[in-house]
């Protein structure tokens, strides 16, 4: 029942009418309220008529000095004060939300970045434990689609798209190198020319990955092409391919981080390698950043990758 009456009121009365009514009641005058609200006098009179119709009772009557409130008018005036106070409070809270640091940091990163992002984020989290961190990982092509959806606060690429509307911050280096199993005939050779690499069976990351793009760009630049390729859909699958002795591959040095991998795989000493890439933090240049986001950029741009942080910690404290 209450809802039906409220709907009837909303159909005939509006917030603007209440605001006009509040000014008329305060001044006791349609003319002065019209001046204050920069409205024509007939517009103010019409709004007052409509509001009275909506409420179902006259709200104003002639008094000694201008207009005065009827009993119904006093009720509407009290309601106006409540409504406007509540709306002001709502507006204050919303502005507060916009200026307060967000408590969730959403990051989407390319698949190879998963080897470093937990460490980079972990170091930030230790000094900002109240921040909830969400990291999502996907290959470069999917990351670009995700970037356009705007679902995250930051995007981490090694090979960011060329897009002037993006702000980029350069992060720690991302060296790309050729790897093979320890028993590969090239394993112990110094200064291997690229022509010998492409003569080997080559394990290629999937189309859409940044790692594949880097390999294709390198081969195109040197006008060479691998003799035979097998395509495997992730860094982990490529590593398994290398361990199975399927051939050689180009990977980020970060992807071969663990001691077990290092024991069985070797970085080939190829001329002109490694490819000296970097990681980048990307976000839309027109986005307003909160204090927490600025602190994160500061942390990320200072942070450097160490594949064995726990050992270097021990070395430092020894």
- Contact residues for ligand PGA, defined by CB under 6 A: 110-112, 139-140, 157-159, 205, 209-211
Q: Minimum distance from CB of 110 to ligand PGA (Å)?
A: 3
Which pair of structure tokens corresponds to residue 179?
Answer: 């790897």
Q: Which residue is nearest to ligand PGA (CB)?
A: 210
Q: Which residues contact 241 (CB under 8 A, 6 or more apart)?
A: 203, 230, 232, 247, 249
- Residue 157 CB, nearest approach to ligand PGA (Å): 4
Closest contact distance (angstroms) between CB of 123 and ligand PGA is 21
Please give the distance of CA 5 from its chain centroid, rounded to a whole number: 44
Nearer to ligand PGA, 66 or 161 (CB): 161
Residue 158 or 249 with smaller CB distance to ligand PGA = 158
Residue 298 Cβ vs ligand PGA, minimum distance, rounded to whole Å? 22
Pairing state between β 228-232 and 66-69: unpaired
Long-range contacts of 133-137 (CB under 8 A, 24+ apart): 133/104, 133/105, 133/107, 134/104, 134/105, 134/106, 134/107, 135/107, 135/108, 135/109, 136/106, 136/107, 136/108, 136/109, 137/108, 137/109, 137/110, 137/111, 137/113
Residue 17 or 110 with smaller CB distance to ligand PGA: 110
Rounded to a whole number of angstroms, the minimum distance from the CB of residue 104 to ligand PGA is 23
Nearer to ligand PGA, 139 or 200 (CB): 139
Nearer to ligand PGA, 73 or 210 (CB): 210
Q: What are phi and psi of 246, to 5 degrees?
A: -75, -25
* Residue with Cβ nearer ligand PGA (157 or 178): 157
- Give every CB contact of residue 172 below 8 A, 6+ residues apart in sequence: 116, 120, 278, 279, 303, 304, 305
> Least distance from C-beta 168 to ligand PGA, angstroms?
12
Q: Rank residues 158 and 200 by Cβ distance to ligand PGA and give the closer one.
A: 158
Nearest by Cα to 200 from 212, 210, 185: 185
- Which residue in this structure is represented by tokens 């910690």? 313
Task: Give the nearest distance from C-beta 114 to ligand PGA in angstroms.
Answer: 8
């Amino acid at each position: 029942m209450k809802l039906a009456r409220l709907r009837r009121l909303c159909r005939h009365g509006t917030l603007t009418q209440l605001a006009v009514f509040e000014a008329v009641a305060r001044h006791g005058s349609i003319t002065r309220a019209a001046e204050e609200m920069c409205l024509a006098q007939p517009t103010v009179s019409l709004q007052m008529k409509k509001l009275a119709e909506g409420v179902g009772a006259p709200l104003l009557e002639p008094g000694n000095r201008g207009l005065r409130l009827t009993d119904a008018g006093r009720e509407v005036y009290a309601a106006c004060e409540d409504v406007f106070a509540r709306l002001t409070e709502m507006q204050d809270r919303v502005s507060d939300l916009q200026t307060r640091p967000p408590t969730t940091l959403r990051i989407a990163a390319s698949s190879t970045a998963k080897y470093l992002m937990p460490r980079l984020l972990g170091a930030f989290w230790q000094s900002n434990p109240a921040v909830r961190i969400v990291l999502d990982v996907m290959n470069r092509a999917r990351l670009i689609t995700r970037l356009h959806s705007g679902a995250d606060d930051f995007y981490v690429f090694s090979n960011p798209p060329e897009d002037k509307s993006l702000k980029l911050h350069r992060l720690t280096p991302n060296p790309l190198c050729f790897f093979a199993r320890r028993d590969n005939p090239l394993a112990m050779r110094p200064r291997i020319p690229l022509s010998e690499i492409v003569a080997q069976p080559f394990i290629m990351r999937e189309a859409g990955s940044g790692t594949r793009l880097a390999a294709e760009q390198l081969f195109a630049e040197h006008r060479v092409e691998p003799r035979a390729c097998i395509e495997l859909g992730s860094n982990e699958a490529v590593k398994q391919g290398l361990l199975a002795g399927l051939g050689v591959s180009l990977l980020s040095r970060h992807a071969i981080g663990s001691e077990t991998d290092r024991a069985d795989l070797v970085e080939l000493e190829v001329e002109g390698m490694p490819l000296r890439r970097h990681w980048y933090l990307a976000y839309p240049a027109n986005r307003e950043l909160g204090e927490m986001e600025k602190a994160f950029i500061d942390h990320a741009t200072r942070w450097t990758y160490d594949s064995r942080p726990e050992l270097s910690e021990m070395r430092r404290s020894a």
